[in-house]
Structure 1
């Protein structure tokens, strides 16, 4: 646990007692703060009692009397579509608002670091798609290389819940736009931007606000090195803003197409990762046979992770060895089983059109299980990626409406996961892939995309029984 620095003797309010809120309370208490809390949920009293904090309704006038700071959980809106009443009240009463990410960066370094031969470093990863895989892959490569490391943030443990880093240790953080948008301190040593596609637009007031939240990690943080995916205009814009000229190797550009010039580039083309620096190629890796990284989108993730690890001094061949032993993450192009020559792949994390399109591009002859709570924008942008789909099996409460948008695709409305898996398995031929890539949120039928993926895996297990 990382005790929060500079809060001893102060009263600090915490809004939300979920995972990050609970960790913030404990870290603040360890730093000597008196903590009061508020949570809208039905378990608020029990959670507060477990933590030994008093509940205070932070929406009422005068709630922030004597309070030095409000710490809010990432899932609570602070601006769009409307600020939470407790946050609006903090503004009105002049109470500064921060989150656990801000507390982490202001509290990480301590006096003991003066005794280290190598100060710990922080690698922070953000972007729309691939940030979990990229973060986990960086952590895996470091672990394979024998470098002490921890993984936290939007994946794994909460940022304040990790152990204080040791000499030369690397902290790898996955950070969502919800986390970067509000943090008052953002000072990673290496910052990684994977890509940008429309998502969470209601929370950020549109695409500009969404990109601005991601960009804060670079603009506010001033990392020593920036790894930037440049396949979208926003990435190219940001790389241009960060670099002082074409040969500035503090910025490493990453792409799924060939890059040329004087700078530092890592790109994947036709399944091969290439590193170029100062106009010459310095490394190449064949990604095609790596089972844990199927498809172009995972090749992009590999490029970003490779680039980040190169900034930390790891050799190309050591990184290549680690790539081959990466098993992938659950619910992200995860091979569940192969039955009768048919592969069953769980990509329940493909909750938007762009991530589903990338999943579809990774396989040939697909029996596609899709559907759920549709996001803004419709499915039109997904249709060009459906050329490899033999048939779609649509789930979700609005399955019929979802299916109507899949023009040119043979569709069967199944509604439930069990029916979809059974029908796909019944019709699949050897060499085909039954792929769960919903292109939709899960909340119409499941508590999370993880629960949806677990249901898919359970239904596949029934086929083997």
Structure 2
């Protein structure tokens, strides 16, 4: 646990008592603060009270009279589309609003670090797609080479649940826009921006607000090194804002759509080959095509970003390459779950938006595509542009018929995962890939994307076993 500093003997309100909220309450208490908790869910309040925390309705008049700060869980809106009533009350009372990420950055460093040979470092990864894989890949490389490392944030453990840092340790954080938009302290040593595509637009009042939430990771604390994907205009703009000129190697530009040149520091992948250039000279190269845990151009982008982060830490190219080859991949992210009778079965349930699904479609040939769910804003036109390899789509979800009508490929309305898997497996031929890449949220049929991916995996394995 990371005890929160600077709040000793002060009342701190905590809104939302899920994983991050309870973790924040514990860390505040460990640092000498007095947490006052609230959640609209009585069961969540009961859980907190069972741990000894005080719960109080923070919507009542005067609830913030003696409160030093309000800590808000990531899923609770503080501005758009409308602020949560508790957040609105705190703002009216002039009470600072923060989250567990802000508490972490203000509390992570301790006096013990004065005795370390190598100060601990923090690498923070954000972006629309690929941030989980990039963060996990960085952590895997560090662990593989024997560097002490912890993985936390939007993946793995909560940021305040990790262990206090030891000499030379690296903490790798995956941070969503919900986490970066509110944190009052954001001071990573290395910050990574993978890419940007429309997502969570209602929460951020449009693409501009969404990009602004991501940009805060770079603008608030000023990382020593910034690794920026420049395949979209937003990434190009961000890199330009952070750089003092073309030769400024504090910014490492990353691409999978173009060869990057110039006097600066670049890492890019073309036709499956990663290349690193610095000061106009090639400094490293890796053939990514045979790394089974990183299929497709979107994963090559993740590899480039992770490679750049590890190079910024001083790791040698060949050491990084060796670690990449042992990377097993993450569950629900281009995860190969079976190969049988020449057919490959891939679980990419994390492809919850159009952009991530389009990237998954580009990673395989002759696809039996299981898609559908709770459709997000923006339509499916990008999917149609990326569907050349799709032999047939098997559409699930409560609005399967409407989803199917927007696709330019042969479709079959299946509604349920069981029916979609059965039909795709019946049609599949040797050389085909049965791919779950929904391009939609899971909440019409599942609690989360993990549950959806587990259902797909269970259906495939049961039918192969039967």
TM-score by structure 2 length? 0.99
Cross-structure match for 1:396: 397
Distance across 2 between alignment mates of 1:321 and 1:400: 46
Equivalent position SS for 2:386: helix
Secondary structure of 1:444's partner? coil
- Following TM superposition, by how much is the alpha carbon of 1:51 offset from its aligned partner in structure 2, in angstroms? 2.4
Instruction: Quote the offset at 1:204 in angstroms.
Output: 0.4
Offset of residue 464 of structure 1: 1.8
Corresponding residue for residue 146 of structure 1: 146
Distance in 2 (alpha carbons) for counterparts of 1:54 and 1:323:
47
d(CA) in 2 for partners of 1:213, 1:150: 24
Contact 2:38/2:45 (<8 A) preserved:
no
Q: CA deviation at 1:47?
A: 1.6
2:98 alignment partner in structure 1: 98
What is the alpha-carbon distance in structure 2 between the residues aligned to residue 254 and residue 163 of structure 1? 31
Q: CA deviation at 1:45?
A: 3.0
Aligned residue number for residue 432 of structure 1? 432
Q: CA deviation at 1:65?
A: 1.3
Residue 265, structure 1, aligned to residue 266, structure 2: yes
- Residue 323 of structure 2 corresponds to which residue in structure 1? 322
State whether residues 101 and 179 of structure 1, in contact with CA within 8 Å, keep that contact through their aligned partners in structure 2: yes
Q: What is the CA distance between 1:54 and its match in structure 2?
A: 1.3
CA distance in 2 between counterparts of 1:221 and 1:234 reads 19
Secondary structure of 2:359's aligned partner: helix
Kept after mapping to 1: 8 A contact 2:230/2:239: yes
CA distance in 2, matches of 1:354, 1:68: 41
The aligned runs of 1:192-271 (5 Å cut-off) are: 192-256=192-256, 257-271=258-272
Secondary structure in structure 1 of the residue aligned to 2:239: helix
Aligned twin of 2:287: 286
Q: CA deviation at 1:55?
A: 1.1
Distance 1:288 1:42 in 2: 51
**1:221 Cα shift?**
1.6
List runs of 5+ in structure 2 lacking aligned partners. Answer: none
> 1:185 matched to which residue of 2?
185
Q: CA deviation at 1:356?
A: 0.3
Matched, 1:66 2:49: no
The list of structure 1 runs, each at least 4 consecutive aligned residues, that deviate by more than 2 angstroms after superposition, is: none
Q: CA deviation at 1:342?
A: 0.3
Separation in structure 2 between the aligned mates of residue 133 and residue 260 of structure 1, nearest angstrom: 26
1:412 maps to: 412
Distance (Å, rounded) in 2 between the aligned partners of 1:322 and 1:412: 41
Question: How many angstroms does 1:24 deviate by?
Answer: 0.2
Counterpart for residue 377 of structure 1: 378
8 Å CA contact 2:268–2:304 kept in 1: the answer is yes
1:118 matched to 2:118: yes
Residue 365 (structure 2) aligns with: 364
Mapped contact 1:25–1:51 kept (Cα < 8 A): no
- Kindly indicate whether the alpha-carbon contact (under 8 Å) linking 2:99 and 2:182 is maintained by their aligned counterparts in 1: yes
Per-residue deviation, residues 246-291 of structure 1 (Å, max 9, x unmatched): 0000000000021010000000000000000000101110000000
RMSD over equivalenced CA pairs, Å: 0.6
SS at match of 1:70: strand
Confirm or deny: 8 A CA contact 1:26 1:51 kept in the other structure: no
Contact 1:394 1:414 in 2 (8 A): yes
1:372–1:445 contact (8 Å) kept in structure 2: yes
- The alpha-carbon deviation at position 112 of structure 1 amounts to 0.7
Q: Deviations over 1:178-204 (max 9, x none)?
A: 000000000000000000000000000
Counterparts of 1:394 and 1:45, CA distance in 2: 39
2:315 is the counterpart of 1:299: no
Q: Does 1:26 align with 2:23?
A: no
Instruction: Give the SS at the match of 2:36.
Output: strand
Name the TM-score, length of structure 1 as normaliser. 0.99
Give the secondary structure class of the aligned counterpart of 1:386.
Answer: coil
Q: 1:463, 1:189 → 2: CA distance?
A: 48
Aligned to 1:387: 388
CA distance in 2, matches of 1:283, 1:213: 33
Aligned residues: 464
Match of 1:161 in 2: 161
Q: How many Å separate the matches in 2 of 1:51 and 1:25?
A: 10
CA contact (8 A) 1:10 1:34 kept: yes
Aligned counterparts of 2:51 and 2:254: Cα–Cα separation in 1: 44
Counterpart of 2:333 in structure 1 is 332
Q: Aligned to 1:387, what secondary structure does the other structure show?
A: coil
8 Å contact 1:272–1:284 — kept in the other structure?
A: yes
